[in-house]
Each structure stands twice: as C-alpha cells, then as structure tokens.
Amino acid sequence: MKNVYDFTVKDRSGNDVSLNEYQGKVLLIVNTATGCGFTPHYDPLEAMYRDLRDKGFEILDFPCNQFANQAPGDADEIHSFCKLKFGVEFPQFAKIDVNGENTEPLFAFLATEKPFVGFGNGIKNAALKKFADMNNKKFGDKAYIKWNFTKFLIDRNGNVIERFEPTTDMTEVRKAIEQLLG
C-alpha cells in the first residue's frame, strides 16, 4: 500500500528530497500562499512547530500560486517573507501546482486519500466555496485542492489520517496533531 514515504519532492533549491527522511514523524503537509486571507495561519502553524517538533512533529510547506495568484515570487522570496513576517522555521519546499495537469504527485495522492467534503457552514465558507468553484473549473477532474492552506495530517507510518480545509479552526488542527503525537 502506498504512503507519503513513497514520494520525492523538490526543496526550495530544486534538490530532490525523499519524504522517507520523515519516516516515524507526525506530519502536517500544507499548500500555502503569502497573499491569501488565510496567510495568518502561519502564526499558529509556527507555534505548533516550535511546541511540538521535539515530540516528532514536522510541517512541510508547499507554496502554490494557483488560487487567485496569491503566492507571487519564487521560492526564496516566499521563504524570506515567511521568515521575516512570521518567523517560520519549518521546511518550505519548491513552489508547486496542486491542481491540473502539472499537479505535484504528492498532492494528487493526498487529495485522493482524503477528498474534499466541504468548507463547512456559514456565510464566509459559502462565499469561499463559490469563489473556489469558479477558480477550479479550469482544472476539471484534476481540481484536487480547493484553496490555499489545505492541510493533511499524516501519522508516523506515512498514512493520511485527516484533511483540514483552510476554514477549519487551527485549534482543532492542533488538537488532532497532539492526539496523534500521544
């Protein structure tokens, strides 16, 4: 059975990184953007990373510019922004596509393991769904990820445990991570 350890991704410099290097850790894999309304998620993400990394937790950050061009710049510019504005220390990888013909295979796998089930209730969530649906029409059946800051929780064996949409409260995300860490 396939798991995340079977994938190789590119770091910010374009070098191959086998996710097998993270074997035995609890992972949160997230697609991000620096100009999104959800960009403030970097604060609780970094807080979780600082608090939990010694317990075997890692965040893997993949910038993506497919949602309203909210991740302009190259990987180094994005990293500099995140470091200066949010103090990000967790690994940031090469900028990728999470939808369409050039989808990063890791994200196609993650989204297939845990498909989109909705943004939740409320006016803001309904508005995001409408905007995301319009944006993702161009990707057809390859619209795996609906918006920036979609997060996937991976257990220590490389299995996809849960998918969190960007509208999920970050305290709920942290609680799930802490439960998995034991």
Could you confirm whether 64 is annotated as catalytic? no
Q: Which of 19, 36, 59, 145 is catalytic?
A: 36
Three-state secondary structure along the chain?
Answer: CCCHHHCEEEECCCCEEEHHHHCCCEEEEEEECCCCCCHHHHHHHHHHHHHHHHHCEEEEEEEECCCCCCCCCCHHHHHHHHHHHHCCCCCEECCEECCCCCECHHHHHHHHHCCCCCCCCCHHHHHHHHHHHHHHHHHHHHCCCCCCCCEEEECCCCCEEEEECCCCCHHHHHHHHHHHHC
Residues noted as catalytic: 36
